[in-house]
Structure 1
Amino acid sequence: MKKLALDALARHLAAHAAAAPSGRSAETVYGGHEHVLRQTLVALQAGQSMAEHVSPGEATVYILRGRIRVVADRTSWDGRSGDLIALPRTRHRIDAVADTVALLTVAKY
């Protein structure tokens, strides 16, 4: 069994993102490319994005702190701390409306 203090890691990644030229920081906390399930903690500074992409499987994003907007085609969904968003299986991007830390979970098919 493995236990992680996500809140402490979220603070660390948020500080790293604030100092990074890209305004982003991420760390896979469970799984990886060789597993079906992958969970990645992502920190984005306000105004930064995860570029448009198609998920390699079913995916959700749980917002630990901050606010995001998920944009797919002409539709968007807003989320804030405590919200869980099931990501569309179409091309989409994630924009940070405010400084954000979120847990991205992907189950590859």
Structure 2
Amino acid sequence: MSLSALSRELVAKARGAHAGRAAHMVAGGHETVLSQTVLALAAGSGLAEHDAPPEATLQVLSGRIALTAGEQRWELGTGELIDIPHARHAVEALADSAFLLSVVRER
């Protein structure tokens, strides 16, 4: 599987989507401990503030995003990786972007 090709495909879908986003699970699922999903956001769109899973990372595959948690804000570009803080957080696309979300769930 090419994450680069999938990212391009999902960014194109996100640009045409009403909510400005698209996603595809690439590994795991609800019945596993680890799941990995590629999410794409059109510039200016985002994911509203939501609760954090027990453990998660976000790796930017293309574009530029902002992750906010409370008063903290991180801007990340292609190739950058961050541990998602265990706090309510939101994601905003500063440019057309795709990222790999890896989540470890409690059993």
Sequence identity percentage: 46
Q: For residues 50-92 of structure 1, what are the alpha-carbon distances to aligned partners after superposition, in whole Å with 9 as ceiling and x for unaligned?
A: 1111122201100011111111111111100010011000000
Letter in 2 for 1:94: V
Q: Which residue does 1:31 correspond to in 2?
A: 28
Letter in 1 for 2:26: V
Structure 2 unmatched runs, 5+: none
For 1:16 and 1:42, locate their aligned partners in 2 and report how far apart those are by CA, in whole Å.
11
Structure 1 unmatched runs, 5+: none
The count of aligned residue pairs is 106
TM-score relative to the length of structure 1 = 0.93
Q: Which residue does 2:6 correspond to in 1?
A: 9
Q: Is 1:83 equivalent to 2:51 in the alignment? A: no
Q: Is 1:18 equivalent to 2:15 in the alignment? A: yes
Segment of structure 1 superposing worse, 50-59 or 34-43? 50-59
TM-score relative to the length of structure 2 = 0.95
CA RMSD of aligned residues (A): 0.8
Deviation, 1:21, is 1.2
Q: Is 1:65 equivalent to 2:62 in the alignment? A: yes
For 1:100 and 1:27, locate their aligned partners in 2 and report how far apart those are by CA, in whole Å.
14
For 1:79 and 1:56, locate their aligned partners in 2 and report how far apart those are by CA, in whole Å.
20
Deviation, 1:5, is 1.4
Q: Which stretches of structure 1, 4 residues or more, deviate above 3 A after TM superposition?
A: none
For 2:54 and 2:77, locate their aligned partners in 1 and report how far apart those are by CA, in whole Å.
23
